[in-house]
Structure 1
Amino acid sequence: MGENLSKSNEKNDYSNQKIVASTLSKNKLKKISIRTDDFTKSENEQILENSIEFNKIRGFYDFKALNERYKDRSIYEFYLPSDETQSQYYELLNACRCLKFGFEEFVGCKINITQSLKNPESIFDFNIDKKKNFFFKSIINFLERKKIDYAKFKKIFPQIKFSEIKKLFDLIDDQETFSLKAKKILKNIKNEATENKTQNSNNEDQLKSDKVESKKKEKKKIPFSQEMRKKNKKDFDNNQNPSLSKKITEISKTHYKAYTKEFDISRNAKYLATKDELRLLRKKFDDEYLENKRLINKLAKKLERLFSSLNINSWKFDQEEGYLDSSRLANLVANSKNTQIFKFENENNSKNTIVTLLLDNSGSMRGKPIITSAITTEIITKVLEKCKVNVEVLGFTTREWKGGKSKKKWEKFGKIENPGRLNDLLHIIYKDADVFWKNCKDNLGLILKDGLLKENIDGEAVKWAYNRLITRKEKKKILMVISDGAPVDDSTLSTNQPDILDNHLKETVDDIEKTNSIKLMAIGIGHDVSKYYKNAFVIEDAENLGDVIISNLTNLLGNSKS
């Protein structure tokens, strides 16, 4: 019986083992199947996550690169609000300005950065709460022509009109004006920590008597005035800061000021006319070339000499690395230990140079003077580019005759005495220093646009050109002003001291020349401008302009060291 039991048990054990084995087998197959699916899914997810993470990193560095490329740090810091909350919104506005430029010029950057914009906190150095995130994305949507929740924006930011934001981004070509306007827009945004503290303090004050409350109000007035004095002192100290000494600010000697800068524009020429208009104006400008063949041929000969002086290459011989010098091979054959058989080219000084040409675009320049100036500018720009010299071409005039919107505002608000500059500035960027001439040559045709040439306020134009130039990294900086005489603006001169514009130009030039940070020279067409500039030349005929410019550039670039 025991034997039978044993056999029966063996049979049962075998049967049980078979069931267990079968079950395990099924489970095993199931598990293998699940593991295979999980592994494949996990691998794909990992690839996807890595791709997303890589794009985020790339977006982060692209974002930082655009900020570095399009933001002048010295101007940014000069207008940076002292209030912490305002400074953060100021940073958001400046970032949007840089993104606007970058998205238009670099499509790849736009794709990369868009991924990072989903989490703005990852690209900024401060906490992005819901309010700041909404503020930032609203502006990005505006720049991208996407839908904006204006009602929500007004509710969250009652102290800011979105129409002001729109006007602000009409000024993006001039960082200084943009920053100043941005600071004004943000001045009503309160510090979040101070706002919360004030609210709590007010709740406590309500529990106290009117007498105690009134005393507290009196006490609050004292620190407020002290704070204002400290702020004024801080602003004064900032103006005295050596790091900002090169930056020309408003001249205090004559108390020169602008009644308002609200309507001033600093813009690239491509935004002042349509593409078709610029193309037609450029064709008209090219026709002027044909009528000035004699001038062009004369300039070409002069430029050959300039080109030669800028491209004299010097070599350093007997080096252990560099280009192989075939004339030294015999030395190596004679003595195998003689390895100084190489040479290298000394770097040309001109390659670390920038030249800014500032053209007077006033009505008195109409006709031959402005056309000759433009032709000369274009020819010289092309040659300097070949010599690896960076060139920036700027122009200055006013938006209107007889005051424009600035004067209308002055008349509306009581016509205060001595209002200062009373017209709307128009500063034009024909060629940015970082753009090749072939990519912006149509811009110069704008000088032939009807109604462009109006009045000239030289002091602020020279200051603007200088501030653009001084932030450049090149060691040698040259600013050449081409004008036909004294600054003139009827609206300003008729409401202020008659010498206000003359004095401001003299003092601006004097301050620039004292810094020794750039080489400044001016050329007067038909008028002597030496009373404004130490290094000045006068030419009676516009055709002589090329001779004077080339002669001075040859001296400044070819024969001097940086």
Structure 2
Amino acid sequence: MFEDVAKKTRYMVYTKKYDRECRIGDLIDRETIERLNTHFDFHGYDNSDSVANGVEWAADLQPQDGLAVTILVDLSGSMRGRPIAQMSYGVLAATQALEGLGASVEVLGHTTNATNRPNDQFQTDRTIDNPGRLSELLHIVVKEAHVPSTRSPGNIIAMGTDSPHLQHENLDGEAIIWATNRLVSRPGQRKLLVSVGDDFEPRCQTSERYAKDSRFLKNHLKAVVDEIDASDALEFAQVVIGVNEHWLARQDTYRAPVSAGMEAGDIAKAIGVAVMQVLDPEPETRITAAPAI
């Protein structure tokens, strides 16, 4: 899978030398994560009832032993502040609900590094006409599938902290390839990738500035999504936060994305809707997510 995507879309990468894959504990200090294991108290969030209501969908599903799920979270700068905090709570609630049904759940995050060494190198070099991607990928393992979220919920909550390492740009196509490759290598009778973000297109001004085709990131993402849709190796669902039904109807990247409001309970519920669209596709049995404003 994905062998010809870059060639078909003319997706170029100037250098992968500075790309990084790491754990959330490499970016957020241990003391903060340990505090968040027991004190979910930043950004003033205290509406636990909303989160509980957001996972009521789990009661409508049969046990899901043999289901392997990956939740891939967009940690780009457009989510900075309270939105990313709400997303982290919502993802935690959905993860615990799925694990309670017997599914194994991995949580991954993606953004770019704060530094732009490929761009700096290109500015000195300037021998290439179309450099392509000029940012440094940052792919983050937030929670591994074999570790229950109840053991360290602070790892997932830490995605919402105001860290200088997080919340820069997003390169969705390469992140989805990374998450897919990890998911298909895991054991499981059925495999589901759920992406959670706030847009339908990658946003990376550093790379787009010098591109001959300003849509090269979007074209790559669309080709990656089409490749997954045509595969029987896994199923793919998307949750888009803060996007109204008008924009949802106009997008052409994803087959059936689910919109969510900006609160943690809304996000947890939307993840449930996305999961049920795959596991229980009959419309009359589906719940609906809260509309975005």
For the superposition of Structure 1 and Structure 2, which TM-score range results when normalised by the shorter chain? 0.7 to 0.9
Residue of structure 1 in register with 2:123 after alignment: 411
Matched, 1:532 2:253: yes
Shift of 1:524: 1.4
1:511 to 209, 227, 237: 227
TM-score normalised per structure 1: 0.45
CA distance in 2, matches of 1:363, 1:477: 29
Structure 1: state its 5+ residue gaps.
1-245, 312-349
Residue of structure 1 in register with 2:286 after alignment: none
Matched, 1:291 2:46: yes
- Within 5 A, what are the aligned runs for 1:425-436? 425-436=137-148
Residue type of the alignment partner of 1:442: G
Structure 2: state its 5+ residue gaps.
283-293
* Cα distance per residue 1:181-212 (max 9 Å; x no partner): xxxxxxxxxxxxxxxxxxxxxxxxxxxxxxxx
Residue of structure 2 in register with 1:467 after alignment: 181
Work out which of the two has the higher radius of gyration on C-alpha atoms and give 1 or 2.
Answer: 1
- The number of aligned residues is 272
Shift of 1:272: 1.8
Q: Note closer, same or farther for the CA distance 1:559–1:253 as it changes in structure 2 (3 Å cut).
A: closer
SS in 2 for 1:469: helix
Contact kept in structure 2, 1:360 and 1:397, CA below 8 Å: yes
SS in 2 for 1:291: coil
* Cα distance per residue 1:36-95 (max 9 Å; x no partner): xxxxxxxxxxxxxxxxxxxxxxxxxxxxxxxxxxxxxxxxxxxxxxxxxxxxxxxxxxxx
Residue of structure 1 in register with 2:135 after alignment: 423
Residue type of the alignment partner of 1:424: E
Q: C-alpha root-mean-square deviation of aligned residues, in Å?
A: 2.3
Contact kept in structure 2, 1:400 and 1:423, CA below 8 Å: no
Shift of 1:478: 0.6
* Cα distance per residue 1:332-360 (max 9 Å; x no partner): xxxxxxxxxxxxxxxxxx21111111111
Q: Note closer, same or farther for the CA distance 1:280–1:267 as it changes in structure 2 (3 Å cut).
A: same
CA distance in 2, matches of 1:479, 1:446: 19
Contact kept in structure 2, 1:281 and 1:446, CA below 8 Å: no
SS in 2 for 1:253: helix
Matched, 1:549 2:261: no
Contact kept in structure 2, 1:395 and 1:430, CA below 8 Å: yes
SS in 2 for 1:310: coil
Residue of structure 1 in register with 2:209 after alignment: 494
CA distance in 2, matches of 1:381, 1:484: 19
Residue of structure 1 in register with 2:13 after alignment: 258
| Bigger fraction of residues in helix | 1
CA distance in 2, matches of 1:523, 1:291: 23
Residue type of the alignment partner of 2:141: I
CA distance in 2, matches of 1:476, 1:297: 26
Residue type of the alignment partner of 1:471: S
* Cα distance per residue 1:349-397 (max 9 Å; x no partner): x211111111110111123322222111111211222221000101110
Residue of structure 1 in register with 2:237 after alignment: 521
Contact kept in structure 2, 1:281 and 1:449, CA below 8 Å: no
Shift of 1:490: 0.9
Contact kept in structure 2, 1:422 and 1:491, CA below 8 Å: yes
Q: Note closer, same or farther for the CA distance 1:476–1:509 as it changes in structure 2 (3 Å cut).
A: same
Residue of structure 2 in register with 1:267 after alignment: 22
SS in 2 for 1:478: strand
Contact kept in structure 1, 2:96 and 2:149, CA below 8 Å: yes
* Cα distance per residue 1:431-482 (max 9 Å; x no partner): 1112222333222214313321111111101111111111122121111111
- Within 5 A, what are the aligned runs for 1:20-419? 246=1, 248=3, 250-280=5-35, 285-287=40-42, 290-300=45-55, 302-303=56-57, 306-307=58-59, 309-311=61-63, 350-400=64-114, 404-419=116-131
2:152 to 423, 430, 440: 440
Contact kept in structure 1, 2:134 and 2:207, CA below 8 Å: yes
CA distance in 1, matches of 2:225, 2:129: 27
1:455 to 162, 169, 175: 169
SS in 1 for 2:193: strand
Shift of 1:289: 7.9
Shift of 1:309: 2.5
Residue of structure 1 in register with 2:291 after alignment: none
Contact kept in structure 1, 2:193 and 2:237, CA below 8 Å: yes
SS in 2 for 1:439: coil
CA distance in 2, matches of 1:310, 1:286: 33
Shift of 1:411: 1.7
| Bigger fraction of residues in strand | 2
Shift of 1:538: 2.4
CA distance in 2, matches of 1:482, 1:249: 25
